[in-house]
Amino acid sequence: MRNSQYSPYISIIIPVYNAEKYLTECLDSIIAQSYRDFEVILVNDGSQDRSLDICNEFAARDCRIKVIDKPNGGVSSARNCGIKQASGEWITFIDSDDLINKDFLHSLVTAAGEDVDFVMSGLIFFDDSSGLKINEERLPIISKLATDNPEDCFTLATLPLITSPVSKLYRRAIITKHNVAFSEKLSYGEDRDFNLQYIGFCRTASAIDYAGYYYRKGLTDSLSVRRDYLGLLKHDLEYWSKLSEYFAKKHCDDVAVRTYLYGRLFNFYNDRLIQAFKTPGISTPSLSQLREVVNGKKFSQLRRNMNLVTCNALTKAIYKCNSLPVLYFYLKFI
C-alpha cells in the first residue's frame, strides 16, 4: 500500500454547506472504510451552522482529513476547490448528507486497473425521515469500454447514473490536464456537464455491479420549491447540444444514436412544458412564452424527427402538427 501521508491513492472531495445534521454520520462511514489509502478534502462552503467545527474536529482526529474554509460559492465552486487541493491518483465525490458502505472504496479500487480511466458503480436510495431503503440502482458489469469505439462511446454516454458525480472514480491527471471542471455558472445540470466533459478525454471506462453509496432522498430543497421550468429547459437543451457534439466527435451516427437523441430531446421538451403548465402554485406560461419555445431551432428538429420518438399517438400528432394553439391547449387542459 502507498504511504497515505504523502501520496494517497484516492482523494475524497466533500462539499459542505450547513450539513451539521448529517456530516458526522457521513464522515464516520468514510473513516470506517476497509480500504485505507485515501485523503478526505472537506470544503466548507460558507456554512452558517456547526459544519466547520465538525470538519475541524474530524481533522484533529485523523491526519488524512484536510479542511478548506471558503466563502459561499455553491457546490460547483466547492468541488472545483477540492479538485485543486487533491493529490490522489483518483478522485471520488461524496455529498455531505450521504453515506458509503465499509467496502465502497475497496470495491471501486478493485476495478481501477492501470488501463482504466473511469470507474462507475450503483446507488442505494434511502428515505431521510425513516432511514428505510427506497430502491437500488445497479449498473451492468462492463469490464472495459474503449472510447475509440463508437459503439462503446454510445454505451458510456447513455449508462444509467452517468449524469451523477457520485459513486465513481475519476483519474485526477485527466481532470487537471484537460481543465475539466464543474461549471460555476450553472445551478442545475452541472454534474452531467462535468461527466460529459470528462468522458470526452477518457480512453477506457468500466462499470461494476455493485451499490455501496447511500443517497439520501426527501431532503427539503428550497431551490426546488419554485422552479423556473422554462429556464431549466434552456439548460437541458444546451446539454443536448453538447451530447450531440460528443456523439458526432466520436463518430456515433446510426439509427440507435439518433433514436436516443431525439427521444431525449422529446423528453426534455415534454417534461419541462408539462411541469411548467401543471405544477401547482406557479404561473402558467403565456402563449407568447410558448411561441418562443416552439420557434427555436431544436424544437423544429424535434418536429421533423418525431418518427424516431416513442410516445402515444395523440402526443406525437400534436408535436408534429406545427400548431401553436393546439399545443397550448394540450398542455393547459389535457
Q: What count of other Cβ atoms lies within 10 Å of the Cβ of residue 185?
A: 8
Instruction: Record the cell numbers describing residue 149, joined without a space.
Output: 469505439
Q: Residue 222 — pLDDT band, cuts 50, 70, 90?
A: very low
pLDDT at 221 over 60: no
Q: What is the DSSP letter of 189?
A: S
Q: What is the pLDDT of residues 24-49, one digit of tens each?
A: 999 999 999 999 999 999 999 999 99
- Percent of the chain scoring above 90 in pLDDT: 89
- Report residue 195: phi and psi, to 5°: -65, -35
Q: Look up cell 479542511; give the residue.
A: 67
In whole angstroms, give the CA distance from residue 44 to residue 60. Answer: 16
Residue 184, pLDDT score: 96
**Average pLDDT, integer, range 65-82:** 98
Residue 6, pLDDT score: 60
CATH T-level fold of 10-223: Spore Coat Polysaccharide Biosynthesis Protein SpsA; Chain A (3.90.550)
Q: How far apart are the first and last CA of the chain?
A: 62
Range scoring the smallest mean pLDDT among 69-73, 79-83, 283-287: 283-287
Q: Residue 215 — pLDDT band, cuts 50, 70, 90?
A: very high
What size, in residues, is the chain? Answer: 334
Residue 224, pLDDT score: 38
pLDDT at 4 over 50: no
* Phi-psi region at 167: left, alpha or beta (left = phi > 0; alpha = psi -120 to 50): left
Task: Provide the whole-model pTM.
Answer: 0.93
Higher pLDDT, 332 or 174: 174
Residue 173, pLDDT score: 98
Strands, E assignment, 164-277: 168-171, 204-217
User: Closest Cα to residue 236, out of 287, 296, 277, 289?
Assistant: 296
Q: What is the pLDDT of residues 247-264, one digit of tens each?
A: 999 999 999 999 999 999
User: Closest Cα to residue 11, out of 57, 56, 52, 68?
Assistant: 68
Cβ atoms of 241 and 189 within 8 Å: the answer is no
Residue 223, pLDDT score: 36
Instruction: Record the cell numbers describing residue 263, joined without a space.
Output: 427521444
- What does pLDDT average to over the chain? 94
Cβ atoms of 40 and 27 within 8 Å: the answer is yes
